[in-house]
Structure 1
């Protein structure tokens, strides 16, 4: 997720915060043997209430921050007598603790006083968890044929580490009223200041067979951060960080990772379980089961499960966390608390609370999410057609414009005074000119636009660039915004190259049939556009986001002079459904004029083509079930999804308007992410296409190459621009991230939190005899040649193009470095057989 933390980074401009904490460190050992005790629970308490906690590492060592919010610290572990110390009596920042062992009987289970090596065989905790796993389908709410319920979700982001001195810093001098809303983190006891708050009301429906899940979003309300950042993107990012946890699933997606549930079939292998004491929780007799990852550096949960001992082995309550040594980036602390209630023989989750403390390059944040469920109805099906269709979430008309009276009547839980104050403070902040200037400055760097009345100037990253053909290229552009019109929009740019002395420009008019709140490209689109553009282009250049004249795309290896000057007229209509099924269709007239190293000359050299024209019609269907994304104006970055993304595209090239080429082009692709338990994840993308009809090489498939020094997942990073063309092809791209699985087991590397990456890419293709320039086809446009007269563009033939790379990710939590190797077509001129590539990547 390269941009998942854009919103968090934005808040970093508000202030740099620090909070003086006392760090208590030491070692916990067995009082009789002196052996270190790993995974001892350590809790800070204030007036008997837990405010923060941690566990010892495998050497029995711990490090714990505390403040005035705590008055005592407790050390507790299964089979040992707990020890409590008053913080006021501790005279040093180092505290070594020796716990006295004792025997604890749990019905038919005994925990011996002497700590032994963990064993799964004949382990009563493992036997118990196997029974829990066996019964989980019977105990899960998904055991019902039908169910429905209502939910109320509240999410809050706050600045963490507020002190008295903060009030006198920067912007805070003139907004003292925000400090009336200071709260205390239940994790660390630090003060936090809420800055963002949102809530949603939903209804959920489930059918077991055939399986169907559907949600209806009735109401949504949030604090507006910026006109350039739509709330849908903010919610998608927050759901990626603190998504809803269902322990009955084998895998739980949270903090941009898939963590193995302790209730999964693999749980007894990937976790260590220990029996604690028996308790009565909410009227049910339970046994407390403590657990932690078998390898502390693997990303996984740790915590306590309350398991019923009344014969059904149901989950009654859970308290989870993530070990600080697990390799997760930016996570200082995390707690997940869930409560279940019995309904008709099943255990139904009624409350879900997630608290997280993050530190992102000095910016401390407290993130809180609370989900309440009620009004459960079981085995009362709706009409059969209610479950049909592909919409995962249906948005009711006006869901984001509900009046206060509606919220007062329909909330499942009333707002706390702090939550209400967050809303009102946000409205006051938006009227504060210095605060607005700060946000606009931030958004200029993240969205690329600067708002000037009814016009947004940008994108900033395109203002200055250079290439082999144009030399230095300067560009200025902009678009109208919501202040101009909420349906009609204009966009364009003007650019000039100081080497080719040519003016480039684009003008575009767009009409949205749906009224927009933030920009014309926001989801879902219902957009008609017409544009005319004159611009330079490198065909086959892979551009996942943005345009080719971005500043950072100016740094390339080798020559990049095979460019064309394109004149394009295009009318396009794009329609999206809330189920992520989209349709895009258009008609265009494209005229390509070769520049510099690109020549359009017939094979027999008898004719030089000054341009190639191509009128065409195209239609594209795309389906991405459940896709979530972060939107930066017209560009979207998909947030992790495991559902396949399927795209189908058809183009018809006509011989009207004096064009010599009539053809049919079909292209299809499917991409999917696979999470592989603790072994990381793999992204697989399959793609293929075919052309029927006679076309010159510029109208063929020009395969995606990358001559930039930045690594690109979807491109061939050692292929030159215009190196390979095909009229039929198939390709596979595999990108695999081990998520540190190997490095975490190497003593000298496991503390670095580096992550191993690997990629394998293969391309099959060819050019049919009909389209291959040769003595049999002397009038066809010949493939380009280099300055020495050797071909620099090729058909693949029988040998596929293959490249692979291995690399290290998460260096300094942001840098990825890859060694890339090319294995085939090594005799082609001006190619690189290997290379080092870099990439900046922000992820948890």
Structure 2
């Protein structure tokens, strides 16, 4: 009895549910050809409001239902006229819907889709994209355990906007052959003239188990302009503009930003997708899937994906660009085109073409990188040692000395006539005196040195400077270049301060164990050096590039009178691997003497230390796998790397050779940049150090301060020089740039393309009792004081030092302004509780 009652209730409940449902099923076909139509949009309506949506399957069949009663249905697909009818009953089965072509429907539907309110729920394009994502990993080549391939990369830089008035200017009367190579940009109707060209052939290897990639550069050549500009640095800079792109990855790094890929797991949330028409690419039938960012001002792509209709949901081709409102600096247009083939169950890339038009304060450039791929080999396993090598990028011997015949026989794609002319024109231009002068001028601005035969004079920026101790400081320096010797180099300077009336100098000899092509500091280093220097020094002034005696660093707040005069004899060996692992070992003898308001005397005033003698042995290990950098002679600047950077330093001070102290010093640094796609990027730096043994304050950790008006990421911008010292400390710095994610959503303000940024910095440390001068320890060296006897240098024994700042970046595309606030140690003398700092930088 109970069983019959339950069955009756279940039957009645089912009837009630069906009574409130609308269900349609059938097949969609082309009215002319009778071919089935996949991915047709199907929408149920009631009183003009959408109830539910679906798309037809690969074989044209469909099923759509709604829990509520619908009164009409509409079938749509770009390239076809709308089809629909009024529903007179709740269930339709075995329908055959025939759609008629309409060549005008593509444009009208695209416009309507962009203007109407976008919905993800029930959106056939989103449903298709979800299917693509379900099959993404299995279609990606990385699903293979092993694969190998060959790549042929061609990169070109051109001057854009070449006019007839420029071409026929009398200045270029004898250079008309150069203008015979003018072409038209595929992104616009502007003319461009190639000025730089490089190509590279490489073999590439991948192992899935350890996610290891190994690249072997077989051959590389470029036009001779790169004899003046370091090609490795130029290559790294170009990779920030037009790097290789893999749309199957979650993120794509290009234009110095991390773009969210439309095929990422979060793509359906941050992009709007629209179904296009069905087309053939060769013999492959595909459906076009159009997309753009949900917010036009967010960092994202706009473009088209061609999705296969064979049930594998493969991306057969891709065409990506950026929206004009995206707020990317200096970029007028961008195009990324990919061609794929389906082989052994995965998609392999056969061709990539990336083009970009840039406009940098009047200078218009066209940058293009074409990469071709062939010789794919799957599941060929090699020895573990092959993949575990530290040097994951190798340049084979003689890679840059291949003859023209070799290139002709081995290129995947032969050079175009324009590319051939670029090589030929470069060779002819190098015999043109005016062209040589232009290149040397470019070198002077980019490297800071002026080439005069076998000698390079510079750095230019160090010629004039001033500070409170030396007053006006004039300096002349130079180094030998590759014309002198490819292994042995000499470098030095002579400076004079008109305030202290004292000469300073450095002389240095360097020997490279491998021949260099461009300069002695060329990556990777295998360098031994011996130097002797007598110079002034401000401890705690931390610079990533250059030296303190630069003109720009002469503008400071407060006083810069706490300086020492150092005499340093140093022997050093430095070795780098191609995977950015470096080792540095040094032996030095350093003597320090206090200058001006800096005094080296005991706490009880009975002893003047005079010169501090500090013989030491030091070791540094640094690892930054995958790091890219721009090298300006001996100085390097990391370029937007997301790889973690580890640095470890050890120093041993000895009483041998008349040394005054014996100690061990340890320091470790961790740095990491991370991107949050449209939400910006951040930089984290964690640092710590410990000194074992008794040392005076000049040999402690003097915390990094910045008294310059220019903001520094790696220093405390409201801390004074020599304000804090520690023998034990932990330091944390966090800088974040939102890339305008907030301001881009405020009307009118979003037109300024401003970017929000903030930073938080703190250091916590202290000085051990054995190193802290005071009562009962009068023999210890006292901390510096001012003329009134008040301390100006402190230990961090009363808690951490904290400062933070908020600011606006991208003002006029180049300026950043920060409001900086100090939160602790506010009673210290001559400190600033807050300040405004600026920074100039060029970034996309």
TM bucket normalised to smaller: 0.7 to 0.9
Change (3 A) 1:201 1:226: closer
SS of the aligned residue for 1:156 comes to strand
Q: Determine whether 1:500 maps to 2:500.
A: yes
Q: Determine whether 1:186 maps to 2:160.
A: no
Deviations 1:236-286, CA, capped at 9 Å, x for gaps: 111111000100100000011100000001111111000011112232221
SS of the aligned residue for 2:435 comes to helix
- Counting matched residue pairs gives 748
Q: Determine whether 1:149 maps to 2:152.
A: no
1:280-291 → structure 2 map (5 Å cutoff): 280-291=280-291
How many Å separate the matches in 2 of 1:325 and 1:778?
67
How many Å separate the matches in 2 of 1:288 and 1:122?
18
Change (3 A) 1:636 1:749: same
1:647-662 → structure 2 map (5 Å cutoff): 647-662=647-662
1:517-536 → structure 2 map (5 Å cutoff): 517-536=517-536
**What residue in structure 2 maps to residue 757 of structure 1?**
757
SS of the aligned residue for 2:678 comes to helix
Contact kept? 1:79, 1:113, Cα under 8 Å: no
How many Å separate the matches in 2 of 1:538 and 1:460?
21
Contact kept? 2:151, 2:372, Cα under 8 Å: yes
Change (3 A) 1:838 1:682: same
Q: Determine whether 1:821 maps to 2:821.
A: yes
1:442-521 → structure 2 map (5 Å cutoff): 442-521=442-521
**What residue in structure 2 maps to residue 59 of structure 1?**
none
Q: Determine whether 1:799 maps to 2:793.
A: no
Change (3 A) 1:502 1:228: farther
Measured after TM superposition, the shift of residue 104 of structure 1 is 7.8
**What residue in structure 1 maps to residue 311 of structure 2?**
311
SS of the aligned residue for 1:225 comes to helix
Contact kept? 2:587, 2:618, Cα under 8 Å: yes
**What residue in structure 1 maps to residue 321 of structure 2?**
321
How many Å separate the matches in 1 of 2:110 and 2:182?
47
1:186-335 → structure 2 map (5 Å cutoff): 186-225=186-225, 227-335=227-335
**What residue in structure 2 maps to residue 60 of structure 1?**
none
Contact kept? 2:612, 2:660, Cα under 8 Å: no
SS of the aligned residue for 1:716 comes to coil
Contact kept? 2:228, 2:439, Cα under 8 Å: no
Contact kept? 1:618, 1:650, Cα under 8 Å: yes
**What residue in structure 2 maps to residue 20 of structure 1?**
none
Measured after TM superposition, the shift of residue 79 of structure 1 is 8.3
Change (3 A) 1:112 1:709: closer
How many Å separate the matches in 1 of 2:722 and 2:113?
71
Deviations 1:649-693, CA, capped at 9 Å, x for gaps: 110001112222000001110101000121000110111110001
Change (3 A) 1:283 1:153: same
* Residue ranges of structure 2 left out of the alignment (5+ in a row): 1-76, 82-101
How many Å separate the matches in 2 of 1:114 and 1:496?
67
Measured after TM superposition, the shift of residue 222 of structure 1 is 0.8
Q: Which has the larger radius of gyration?
A: 2
Change (3 A) 1:255 1:614: same
How many Å separate the matches in 1 of 2:113 and 2:316?
28
Change (3 A) 1:197 1:110: closer
Q: Determine whether 1:664 maps to 2:661.
A: no
SS of the aligned residue for 2:674 comes to strand
Higher RCO, 1 vs 2 (CA within 8 Å, ≥6 residues apart): 1
How many Å separate the matches in 2 of 1:737 and 1:224?
38
How many Å separate the matches in 2 of 1:102 and 1:457?
67
Q: Determine whether 1:610 maps to 2:610.
A: yes
Question: Could you tell me the TM-score, scaled by structure 1's length?
Answer: 0.87
How many Å separate the matches in 2 of 1:670 and 1:837?
26
Deviations 1:279-322, CA, capped at 9 Å, x for gaps: 12232221101110000001110011001121111101111101
1:75-154 → structure 2 map (5 Å cutoff): 116-154=116-154
Q: Determine whether 1:673 maps to 2:673.
A: yes
Bigger CA drift: 219-228 or 831-840?
219-228
**What residue in structure 2 maps to residue 693 of structure 1?**
693
How many Å separate the matches in 2 of 1:759 and 1:453?
47
How many Å separate the matches in 2 of 1:197 and 1:719?
47
SS of the aligned residue for 1:132 comes to helix
How many Å separate the matches in 2 of 1:297 and 1:266?
18
Contact kept? 1:340, 1:350, Cα under 8 Å: yes
Bigger CA drift: 410-419 or 441-450?
441-450
How many Å separate the matches in 2 of 1:628 and 1:173?
41
Contact kept? 1:718, 1:822, Cα under 8 Å: yes
Contact kept? 1:103, 1:111, Cα under 8 Å: no
SS of the aligned residue for 1:166 comes to helix
Deviations 1:623-668, CA, capped at 9 Å, x for gaps: 1101111111111111111110111111000111222200000111
Q: Determine whether 1:830 maps to 2:800.
A: no
Deviations 1:422-462, CA, capped at 9 Å, x for gaps: 01111111111111111211221221111111111111100
Q: Determine whether 1:642 maps to 2:626.
A: no
How many Å separate the matches in 2 of 1:463 and 1:691?
37
**What residue in structure 1 maps to residue 430 of structure 2?**
430
Deviations 1:596-624, CA, capped at 9 Å, x for gaps: 11101101111111111100000101111
How many Å separate the matches in 1 of 2:330 and 2:105?
39
1:567-646 → structure 2 map (5 Å cutoff): 567-646=567-646
**What residue in structure 2 maps to residue 64 of structure 1?**
none
